[in-house]
Structure 1
Amino acid sequence: MNTFDVIIIGFGKGGKTLAAEFAKRGWKVAIVERSDKMHGGTCINIGCIPTKTLAHQAKIASGMKNSTFEERREFYRNAIAVKESVTSALRDKNYHNLADHPNVTVYTGVGSFVSADVVSVRTSTEEIWLTSKQIEGVSKRNLMKGQLLI
């Protein structure tokens, strides 16, 4: 079993901010996120940033009224590629901001409570048990009912 000063469930805005602050204080931090495509949270990956990136591309496309179908199709493909590039770069930066910190361990897997101070993380290859007297869930849901956390 891996022991930490704090376990944080969720790698979004709240989770990454808490993890960075606790790590800066010298705490041994575990942060758990179910998907490697969500490091950094909703805004970066499927919310604000991709939406605004595509909105910007749409504004550019509005000037293509006289273009052919093929030109528009190619522009659309490029717009999606730009969005993917932006979100991927931000996700990678957010991941490494924490994963490269000596006080932080990032777990990518589904976390669930085993007890009040033990969290099970099921990755694609194994189940890992983490323990801490302090577990922070950055979610609107009540985490202490034994249900799936993330």
Structure 2
Amino acid sequence: GLDDAGFKDIIIMSHSAKHSSSFYSPFRDAAECTPQFGDRKTYQVPFTNPAEAMREVEADIEEGVDIVMIKPALSYLDLIAEAKKKFNVPVSAYSVSGEYAMVKAAANQGWIKEDQIINEILYSIKRAGADFIVTYFAKSGARLIRDNS
């Protein structure tokens, strides 16, 4: 393993609970990586099975990961909170391309105030227990934090 090879200070973050989700569609379309055959459901957690998501998180911890990740973030705030309470490791949440696309589309139509929604989404992910947030909103989120400090 990494330790045996002299890499003792390497932190590993696993995509522990990657749900089978339509929220990945914008990225897949942009990257032209939509499956040409079959699907990804064999290694993604069904969105209807939170117990399996927690088993995946637990298995990753047992295998030695340092940080677990739940994705997508917004639809799985309950699982972010559960992982934070149940396990003694940092929890990362990934706000994926579909979450970003929904906000951008609604803002472009004038249906929402983009900055307010971004702020609300990021705070809700943090409030659920995420220690880290990976997001397409990183630049605008950082600007909002800076401007509101």
Structure-2-length-normalised TM-score: 0.34
Which structure is higher in helix share? 2
Question: If each structure's strand is expressed as a fraction of its own residues, which one has the higher value?
Answer: 1
Higher relative contact order (CA 8 A, sep 6+): 1
Which structure is larger by alpha-carbon Rg, 1 or 2? 1
TM-score (normalizing by structure 1): 0.34
